[in-house]
Structures are given as C-alpha cells and as structure tokens.
Amino acid sequence: MQQILIIAKQTFKEAVRNKILFVFIILGLITICCSVFMPVVGDGSEKIRIVESMCFRSITFFGTLAAILLSASSIPTDIENRVLCTITTKPVQRTNIIFGKIIGFMYIIGVLLIVMGGAGYALIKFTALKQSTQGSSELLAREKFDPYTLQVTGESARKIGNVSWIEGGGKGTSVWKFKGLHSKNRKDDLEIEADFLVESKKRSTRKIPINIKAVNPYTLKTLTESIEVSRNKPGLLKLGGEFLEGSEELTIVVSLENPGDFIGISSDSLRVFFGNKSFEYNFLKGLTIISSQFLLMVIIAVLGSTFLSLPVNILFCLFIFFCGNITDFMRDLSTVINVFETHEHGHGISTVLKKTNVFVVFLDYVIRKPLFLLSYILPDLKNFSVGKYFVDGINIPYKTVFMSFGYAVLYAFFCLPISFVVFKRREIA
C-alpha cells in the first residue's frame, strides 16, 4: 500500500510540476464562466438551468479529457523515457505501479473536480442570486416519482415497440398510479409534466388537448384539467401539495378530447414531481456521478496503456469515449440497417418490414451484429450524464449515484485484472 501511495503521489506531482493540471483547470474555468454570457430565451430560471448545464458539461468534458490524456499517456511515456525501466528494477510489484498510477490520476481529477465544481457552484449561486433580484428564481432539485403501474386501455390502444398509442374521442385512456409521494413540506407544489409523442390526422394540428384527471385514492378527491401538449413542449399541470392530504398515493388518468388525435405513451411520458430537495446535495451527487465516469475512463486508459503506444492509446480512449456516448444510436443503427420497408397502418403509425436479400444479410453480419455487440461491451456513458437532471431541475436519486458508481466499479473489475496480466507480461526494454 505504501508503494502505491508513493507512486500516486509522484503521478500527482508530475501533473502539477509539468503544469498540465493547471492548463485543464484554467480551460475548464474559462468555459464555465462563458456560460454566463450564453444568450437565453426564457425566464430567469432558464438562465440558471443553462449555467447549471454548462457547468456540468464543462466539468465532464475537461475532466474526461484530463482523465484520458493523462492516464493514456503516463505509462507509455514512462516506458518511452525509460523511467519505468528504473522503477521496475526496484522491489515494486507491477500491479502496484498500475494501482498507484490510477490513484494518482484520481487525485489529479479530484483536484480538478473540486476547483471546477467549486467555481461552478459559486457561479450558479451567483446567477440564481442575480436572477432573483429580477424575479423569483430558485435552484431546483425536484423529487421525481415514477409510476408503479401504467395501464393503457380502450379500443384504440395499440403497442408498437416500447410505445403504446391511444386515440382521442373516448377510444382510449391511460391510467398511471404513483405511490410514496411524500414531502417534508406539504405546501410544495405537486407538478405533473406530460411529454407524449403526438400524432394527429389533422396535419395542421400542432397542439393536442388532453385531459388529465388526478385522483387521491384515499380521500377520493378528484381534479380534472385540460392541458395542451405538442411535439416539442411538454404540458405542465400544477396542483397544490394539499391535494395529497392523507395519502402518499396518486392516480392519474389521461385521455384525449378529439378523435383523430393520438398520443404515444412510454413509462417516462408522465412525470410527477413533489417536493424540492437540497440543491447542494444534488450538486454533490452530480459531481459524484461525474467522478465515476472519470474513474471509468482512467481505468480504460490505463488498460490501453499497458499494451498500446501513446498515440494509439489516445485514439483508443477517444473512440471509447465517443462510442460510449452513442451506444443508443449504435443500437438504433443496428435496427435501421434491417429496415428496408415500412408499412403504414393508418393514423401515422407504421410497422417495420424486413427485406432479406444478400445486401441485407451482408450488412447484418458486418455492421449490425458487431455494432449491436459493441454497444453492450463498451461502457454506456449516458449512465453518467447528469446535465439532464440539472436542465430539468430534478433531484438525482441516490440509486442513480450508486448505480453509476457501481457501473464504473464493474468495468474496473473486468479491466483491472486484464491490465495486471498484460502489464506483468510486458517487456520494458
């Protein structure tokens, strides 16, 4: 352990003395500060969301870049400069060298995270303060609740893929049930956000009116409201927190007014928010998730550095980083390649028909299957994406924090033994 910490300290010292750490910090801080000057269409809260989002995106970008460049280059450079040639003649296990390097990189990235996170937090607070003088704007960390049951019923109900479609005019309803809705402050608003896929036989129609009926199953208090939803803008319904009095459960029934209007429903289409958590905790949770991504990238870069040369390893890491952010697209693409014809079922809904010819078979084996496989082998970096939480002002569940950390640890569990074996067998000439 002592040797691991010595090597970690040395790795950190190297980044400080060679001023690499400062370059990343300065660039990151400049980017964070630039977010203040971003033009914003909307109210003050929109401005805060932009600053929050930019802050996290900057930290993620520069942190990941630092993680990749430092960890991908360290071992190959030490081998190239023959520094490792001297170190490995000392009584140091090669596994300790790898552990030491990883801990050293995490020190470096930790400092980067603290400085940039601190600056980002100060800037967000400053922006919120500035906006509050011009109107009310608060830092949101709203508690989001997912439905425990979702039923789509009616003669028009049809499921295509993960999306269930219903038509208006009493031909279909969807029933959502939520539980565990509790907040320390009952005066908090109960917010219902409806973000459905929208289709209409009237091509000119952009907005579709939907009816939302909220029911408190304990008091049987009912409230029905009509809101408009469109393709890009979710509909929002605010109820007072007292609506939930005596109950932690809520039932919501969604239906459409007009025949010929369709909405596509997935489990995330209706979001219920109740209660506002501490923004500071949420911010820290965001940083924790980002640091898990850094850990993951460091481990992958170190794995690459045990057998690849410096330029190849950097390319390898950038490839992983790029693909890790588009795993969904890779899976989608693998589906698209199979699609040659679609069949219109009516009311804008189509199903996919496969066309089997030699070309499709070729694409299937050369592109689709490898891509599909790769999308599951490569780390899915969207698991570490926290920007969306801050853009929507949503509290990050602890489960997400643990899951993302666990995801990084899982990759470490597979990558580290490979790194050890490869590095142990590597000739340091």
Partner 1 sequence: MDNDIAIKTENLTKAYRSFWRRKKILALDKLNVDIKKGEIFGLLGPNGSGKTTTLKLLLGLIFPTEGRALVLGKTTNDVAVKNRIGFLPEESCFYRFLNADEILDFYGQLFKISRKERKARIDRLVEQVGLGFARKRPLRQYSKGMLRRIGIAQALINDPDLIILDEPTSGLDPIGTRETKDIIVSLKERGKTVLLCSHLLSDVQDICDRVAILDKGKLQISGTIDELLSSKDVVEMLIRNLSDEAISEVETFIKEKHGEVISVKNSSGTLEGLFLKIYAANINNSKTDV
428 near partner 1 (CB under 8 A): yes
Write down the least CB distance from residue 362 to partner 1, Å.
29
354 near partner 1 (CB under 8 A): no
Q: Which residues pair with 229 in a beta bridge?
A: 208
Name which position in 29, 69, 88, 207 contacts partner 1 (CB under 8 A). 88
The DSSP code sequence of 50-86 is HHHHHHHHHHHHHHHHHHHHHHHHHHHHHHHTTHHHH
Choose the binding region for partner 1 from 32-40, 68-76, 91-99, 264-272 (rule: CB under 8 A).
91-99
Phi first, then psi: give them for residue 133, nearest 5 degrees: -75, -25
Name which position in 83, 160, 409, 418 contacts partner 1 (CB under 8 A). 83
In the stretch 92-121, what mask flags binding to partner 1 with x, by CB under 8 A?
xx----------------------------
Q: Are 184 and 206 in contact (CB under 8 A)?
A: no
Looking at the Cβ atoms of 243 and 420, the one nearer to partner 1 is 420
* C-alpha dihedral (117, 304, 20, 29), degrees to nearest 10: -30
Find the radius of gyration of the CA atoms of the chain. 26
Write down the least CB distance from residue 311 to partner 1, Å.
17
429 near partner 1 (CB under 8 A): yes
Name which position in 22, 38, 82, 217 contacts partner 1 (CB under 8 A). 82
> Cβ of 341: how many Cβ atoms within 10 Å?
10
Choose the binding region for partner 1 from 10-18, 135-143, 270-278, 363-371 (rule: CB under 8 A).
10-18
87 near partner 1 (CB under 8 A): yes
Residue 134 CA to residue 261 CA, distance in Å, equals 40
Residue 64 CA to residue 317 CA, distance in Å, equals 10
Write down the least CB distance from residue 94 to partner 1, Å.
9
338 near partner 1 (CB under 8 A): no
Choose the binding region for partner 1 from 1-9, 168-176, 218-226, 370-378 (rule: CB under 8 A).
1-9
Residue 340 CA to residue 353 CA, distance in Å, equals 7
Choose the binding region for partner 1 from 84-92, 145-153, 162-170, 209-217 (rule: CB under 8 A).
84-92
Amino acid, single-letter form, for residue 339? V
Question: Sheet containing 207-215: which strands, arranged edge to edge?
Answer: 149-153, 173-178, 250-256, 207-215, 222-230
Q: Are 11 and 74 in contact (CB under 8 A)?
A: yes
89 near partner 1 (CB under 8 A): yes
Write down the least CB distance from residue 410 to partner 1, Å.
30
For 121, the enclosing helix (H) or strand (E) is: helix 94-134
In sequence order, which residues have a C-beta less than 8 Å from that of residue 188 and are 6 or more positions away? Answer: 241, 274, 275, 276
> Cβ of 83: how many Cβ atoms within 10 Å?
13
In sequence order, which residues have a C-beta less than 8 Å from that of residue 68 and are 6 or more positions away? Answer: 297, 301, 314, 317, 318, 321
Write down the least CB distance from residue 134 to partner 1, Å.
49
* C-alpha dihedral (177, 179, 185, 189), degrees to nearest 10: -10
17 near partner 1 (CB under 8 A): yes
Looking at the Cβ atoms of 7 and 396, the one nearer to partner 1 is 7
Looking at residues 396 to 425 of the shown chain, list those that interact with partner 1 (rule: CB under 8 A). 425
42 near partner 1 (CB under 8 A): no
Name which position in 37, 39, 41, 81 contacts partner 1 (CB under 8 A). 81
In sequence order, which residues have a C-beta less than 8 Å from that of residue 258 and are 6 or more positions away? Answer: 168, 169, 208, 209
1 near partner 1 (CB under 8 A): no
Number of residues lying near partner 1 (CB under 8 A): 24
Write down the least CB distance from residue 424 to partner 1, Å.
9
Looking at residues 182 to 241 of the shown chain, list those that interact with partner 1 (rule: CB under 8 A). none
Looking at the Cβ atoms of 13 and 182, the one nearer to partner 1 is 13
Name which position in 90, 184, 203, 399 contacts partner 1 (CB under 8 A). 90
Going 39 to 42 to 268 to 284, the CA torsion angle's sign is: positive
Q: Which residue has the tokens 């939302």?
A: 212
310 near partner 1 (CB under 8 A): no
Give the binding site for partner 1 (CB under 8 A).
2-3, 6, 10, 13-14, 17-18, 81-83, 85-93, 425, 427-429
